Structures are given as structure tokens and as C-alpha cells.
């Protein structure tokens, strides 16, 4: 079965990685196009799922970079907005394990300025799933507009949310205050163990899943790096191991996991509603596939998810 379209809504971020400079007292930066929702849209399209990205693109050098990457990956940008504001920039420093710590330059940038009219005419008749999350759901003034769009879409599509908490830019309590409402809208909640620690400190993953199920979300997947993933469907749980790989960095790995999960579920016809036919065996298969996609992303520099042909080769 060919997967139906997945519409992704959210931000693009210019990820600037520090590198050794050629002269003293200088800092060299290598800029790659990123942003959690944009990475997910790219990964979906490369895997073969028709992916549409709803974004606000600046006309600056970074905005042009974003557009070029998404278009080259086959993402539909027909409903993207040409924005007057500048692009969002994140400066990343990698530790010895390839984990990135980001500092953001995001004041009054294009990604957060959604107006209701910009989303009002988006046709979702061909969309099986709407995926969003990260900063687009918490940065004002656009966050409320995005929530309203999800509420309207929930009646006819599967809703997927990745909170992707960024505590240096938005206080975790802002996410906590909105999370119960997001769970009432969402069918799929994918988050990292770092997100869990910020959203529900000192809460075991299993208990967190039950809290979010009670709020309305059917499928919760918590990714745990080298320890794999915990998936919980209406309280039934399964642990999925990570795929061994030589890690260059982990940037975009969670976004790729989400894309792999949604691609696999969509290709088997589960997306398009409240997941009525989904069972734990299908969740396990989707998570195993998603772990492969994430591992291939970790094996290269930056948020560079694999193409479908690369998966077929392995």
C-alpha cells in the first residue's frame, strides 16, 4: 500500500556547528539546514512518503538554504509562506559522544509569526497525518494558531506531536502547561528521555505513558538513545532495541525516528484517523524500522536522514 500524504507544520532552523578556525581568536561555523519539523519532513520524503511542509520562510540566505534542501528532498512546499522576518539560527557544540548543545537566536524570527489566515486555506483532504511539535507549539504569537489548526485537523486526520523541549529558549513549564491539551488532540506522542525528564521530572517512563494515555493520546513512544525505545499503545508496552552504529553525531536522530515511525505506519494503512486498527505488533515493527532510520542519521554529520535506497542496501 502506498502511503498517503503527511503534512508537517513547524520551523526551520539554521544549525551552525563550531569548527576549529584557521587563525587565533576566530570561530568558524559550518551551517546546515535543520529544525525538528523540517528534518522530519525531509526524512519522510526521502523514505518515499508524500510529505508537505507548512513553514514560514525568510528571504534571507538561510531561508533560501532551507527551501533548497526541502525541495531537493522532494518535499511539497506549495503552501509555504514567504515571510518578511529573518530566519532562526542555532549554534551547536558537540560533546565527545556527538550530543549537541544548542544556543538559539530566535527573537522575532519568521517561524513563530503564524497568522490564522496563513493556515485557513490549507486543504487536508489528501492528508492522512498532521505532524508538528518543537518550538512552533510554544513560541508566540504563532503557537495558539498552530494549536487551533491541530484542533480543526484532528476530526479527519491522525495527529502526531513531538514536544522536543528546548529549555534554553522556552521554559519547560510552558510545555508542561500545554501538554495535557496536546495529548487531547494527538494520537501519537514521540519524545526523548531528555524531554521526559523536563516534562515530568522523576517520573518513570511507564507512569508517564499512563498519564499521557489518560489525557487522550493512544500511542506514546519514548526514545532512549543507545537503550532503544519504549512504545506504549493504550497501556500495552514493548521495548525496542537501538540499532548499533558508529555515531558521528545525534543531531536529527529523533526527528528521523519519528519520520520512520510515521512512514511505516502510513505505508500499512494505519494513519488517517484515531488509529483504530493499530496493535502492538504493528507498533513494534514500525519502531524497529524507525530505529534503523535513526541509526543511519547518526552515522553521518548533521540532520541528514537516509534515502529509501540506502535502507534497501542494508
Check residue 21 and give its pLDDT: 79
User: What is the number of other CB atoms lying within 10 angstroms of the CB of residue 65?
Assistant: 17
How does pLDDT run across 206-260, given as a tens digit for each residue? 999 999 999 999 999 999 998 999 999 999 999 999 998 999 888 899 999 999 9
User: Contacts from 27-31 at CB under 8 Å and sequence distance 24+?
Assistant: 29/91, 31/62, 31/65
Q: At what angle do helices 253-267 and 36-47 cross, to 10 degrees?
A: 40
Domain count, the chain: 1
Where does the pLDDT of residue 17 fall: very low under 50, low under 70, confident under 90, or very high at 90 and above? Answer: confident
How does pLDDT run across 41-89, given as a tens digit for each residue? 999 999 999 999 999 999 999 999 999 999 999 999 999 999 999 999 9
Task: Determine the average pLDDT of the residues in 268-283.
Answer: 96
CATH code of the domain covering residue 35: 3.40.1190.20
All three cell numbers of 96, joined, read 565527545
Q: Residue 84: which domain range?
A: 5-312
Percent of the chain exceeding pLDDT 90 equals: 80
Pair 97, 247: CB distance under 8 Å: yes
Where does the pLDDT of residue 131 fall: very low under 50, low under 70, confident under 90, or very high at 90 and above? Answer: very high
pTM (2 d.p.): 0.94
Amino acid at each position: 500500500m502506498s502511503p498517503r500524504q503527511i503534512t508537517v507544520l513547524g520551523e526551520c532552523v539554521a544549525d551552525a556547528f563550531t569548527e576549529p578556525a584557521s587563525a587565533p581568536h576566530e570561530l568558524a561555523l559550518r551551517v546546515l539546514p535543520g529544525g525538528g519539523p523540517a528534518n522530519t519532513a525531509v526524512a519522510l520524503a526521502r523514505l518515499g512518503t508524500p510529505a508537505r511542509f507548512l513553514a514560514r520562510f525568510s528571504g534571507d540566505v538561510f531561508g533560501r538554504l532551507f527551501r533548497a534542501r526541502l525541495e531537493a528532498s522532494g518535499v511539497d512546499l506549495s503552501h509555504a509562506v514567504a515571510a518578511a522576518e529573518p530566519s532562526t539560527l542555532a549554534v551547536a557544540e558537540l560533546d565527545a559522544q556527538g550530543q549537541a548543545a544548542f544556543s538559539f537566536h530566535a527573537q522575532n524570527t519568521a517561524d513563530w509569526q503564524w497568522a490564522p489566515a496563513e493556515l485557513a486555506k490549507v486543504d487536508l483532504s489528501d492528508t492522512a497525518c498532521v505532524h508538528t511539535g518543537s518550538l512552533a507549539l510554544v513560541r508566540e504569537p504563532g503557537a495558539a494558531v498552530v494549536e487551533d489548526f491541530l484542533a480543526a485537523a484532528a476530526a479527519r486526520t491522525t495527529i502526531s506531536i513531538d514536544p522536543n523541549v528546548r529549555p534554553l529558549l522556552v521554559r519547560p513549564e510552558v510545555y508542561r502547561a500545554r501538554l495535557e491539551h496536546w495529548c487531547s488532540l494527538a494520537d501519537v506522542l514521540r519524545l526523548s528521555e531528555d524531554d521526559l525528564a523536563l516534562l515530568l521530572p522523576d517520573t518513570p517512563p511507564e507512569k508517564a505513558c499512563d498519564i499521557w494515555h489518560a489525557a487522550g493520546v493512544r500511542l506514546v513512544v519514548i526514545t532512549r538513545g543507545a537503550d532503544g525505545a519504549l512504545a506504549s499503545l493504550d497501556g500495552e508496552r514493548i521495548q525496542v532495541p537501538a540499532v548499533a552504529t558508529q555515531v558521528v553525531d545525534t543531531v536529527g536522530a529523533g526527528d528521523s525516528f519519528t519520520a520512520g515511525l510515521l512512514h511505516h505506519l502510513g505505508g500499512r494503512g494505519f494513519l488517517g484517523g484515531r488509529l483504530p486498527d493499530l496493535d502492538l505488533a504493528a507498533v513494534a515493527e514500525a519502531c524497529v524500522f524507525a530505529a534503523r532510520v535513526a541509526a543511519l542519521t547518526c552515522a553521518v554529520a548533521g540532520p541528514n536522514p537516509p534515502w529509501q535506497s540506502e535502507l534497501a542496501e542494508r
